Amino acid sequence: MAFGKQPSPVPLFGLLSFLLLLHPIPTTTTTTTSTTGIRLNVIRKPSPEVPIFREAPAFRNGESCGSQVADRIHVAMTLDANYLRGTMAAILSILQHSTCPENVSFHFLCARFESEIFSSLRSTFPYLNFKVYRFDSNRVRGKISKSIRQALDQPLNYARIYLSDIIPVDVNRVIYLDSDIVMVDDIAKLWGVDLEDKVVAAPEYCHANFTKYFTDAFWSDPALAGTFEGRKPCYFNTGVMVVDVEKWREGGYTQKVEEWMGVQKQKRIYHLGSLPPFLLVLAGNIKAVDHRWNQHGLGGDNLEGKCRSLHPGPISLLHWSGKGKPWLRLDSRKPCNVDHLWAPYDLYRSSSLSLEE
């Protein structure tokens, strides 16, 4: 497995300063919370639902890095207490393997204001460049259909559909990542992919049985099945995507995905959550990138989450899509072999101490 260049951590000094307190976020979709401010290591009594994490090293740009403004890399992820441990590991892996970690800007989408999560993020990554946006769950509550796994039915799982409405209009491109990934290569390589005239870039898996993502009711209806006419649709995983946000807005892709969600409510045409409507709109019309950028399925299937082995070939990103999450399997003392690849990025501190060291 080829790992990207790892910048040398910069030692932290013992200077104390006050922890920046968050202001309440109004219930609008585009509200952000700034990350500017000075940090202090203080006694913090955590919420029982929010894990305690060790502070990550500070990663600095290499000598070859350009302007932190002109060469900014935008990464979007969701932020949820249930997956926070995975998010922390993902962030660490991205920064650790980036040649220019200070150029990476994170955009976090959350369903509700939870100050404990934001405080934990700040204390774990004091130098992280990030903003938090509230995703209004009401936008999808009436559009979600029950799927084969409850976790797939959560409103926040659909937030990626609304990225173009949520992040600032001056952000023209973004890498969307799920919280159950670790990156073992320089994210700048993925960021630099040429989308050509496509709105999304992602690894394509044309050997997969595409028909299984839709029901017999879909394939037996000529009007529905005809949606792929003129295309050669292939499966792609929406947990790792490079999105041309400007083209997404101009093409009205949010509305196109929502229309298929409406069809699903009337006539069940698929069993999974937010993936099939993406396939219906974009499959066969994306920019294909190397499979190394999404070694997915490491969490097994959506029902049992059985162990799976790595696919052959080089790896730049590991993805525990499926029911089995590495932190849960490690805690249960019944990890899969691939979970040991995630463990080095785990910042979780299992001690019950409430003091930050």
- Residue 17 predicted with pLDDT over 60: no
For residue 53, give the nearest of 14, 7, 90, 15 by alpha carbon: 90
Q: Residues of the chain with pLDDT > 70: what percent? A: 80
Mean pLDDT for the chain overall = 83
- Residue 35 predicted with pLDDT over 60: no
The residue range of the domain holding 188 is: 69-288
For residue 320, give the nearest of 344, 294, 292 by alpha carbon: 294
pLDDT score for 149: 52
CA distance 57 to 128: 11
Give domain status of residue 101, yes or no. Answer: yes
Give domain status of residue 158, yes or no. Answer: yes
pLDDT score for 302: 73
pLDDT score for 301: 81
pLDDT score for 151: 56
The mean per-residue pLDDT over the stretch 275-284 comes to 95
For residue 312, give the nearest of 330, 285, 292, 298 by alpha carbon: 292
Q: What is the pLDDT of residues 138-194, one digit of tens each?
A: 888 877 766 555 555 688 999 999 999 999 999 999 999 999 999 999 999 999 999
CA distance 286 to 255: 18
Give domain status of residue 258, yes or no. Answer: yes
For residue 245, give the nearest of 161, 166, 158, 173 by alpha carbon: 173
For residue 298, give the nearest of 273, 275, 325 by alpha carbon: 325
Q: Which amino acid is at 73?
A: I
Least confident of 14-23, 208-217, 221-230: 14-23
Give domain status of residue 298, yes or no. Answer: no
Domain count of the fold of the chain: 1
pLDDT score for 292: 97
Q: What is the pLDDT of residues 320-334, one digit of tens each?
A: 998 899 999 999 999
pLDDT score for 266: 86
- Residue 24 predicted with pLDDT over 90: no
CA distance 236 to 281: 12
Evaluate the CA torsion angle 254, 257, 259, 265 in order and state its sign.
negative
pLDDT score for 170: 94
- In DSSP terms, which residues pair with 73 in a beta bridge? 104
Give domain status of residue 314, yes or no. Answer: no
pLDDT score for 23: 34
For residue 185, give the nearest of 299, 93, 85 by alpha carbon: 93
Tell me the three state secondary structure of residue 74. Answer: strand
> Would you place residue 348 in the very low, low, confident or very high pLDDT band (cuts 50, 70, 90)?
very high
Q: What is the largest CA-CA distance in the chain?
A: 68
Using left for φ > 0, alpha for ψ between -120 and 50, and beta otherwise, residue 48 falls in alpha
Give domain status of residue 125, yes or no. Answer: yes
Give domain status of residue 303, yes or no. Answer: no
- In DSSP terms, which residues pair with 205 in a beta bridge? 235
Least confident of 254-258, 263-267, 275-279, 310-314: 263-267
pLDDT score for 349: 82
Q: What is the pLDDT of residues 78-119, one digit of tens each?
A: 999 999 999 999 999 999 999 999 999 999 999 988 889 999
DSSP state string for 162-227 = GHHHHS-TT--EEEEE-SSEEE-S-HHHHHT---TT-SEEEEEETTS-GGGGS-HHHHT-HHHHGG
The mean per-residue pLDDT over the stretch 248-264 comes to 95
CATH code at 136? 3.90.550.10
Give domain status of residue 313, yes or no. Answer: no
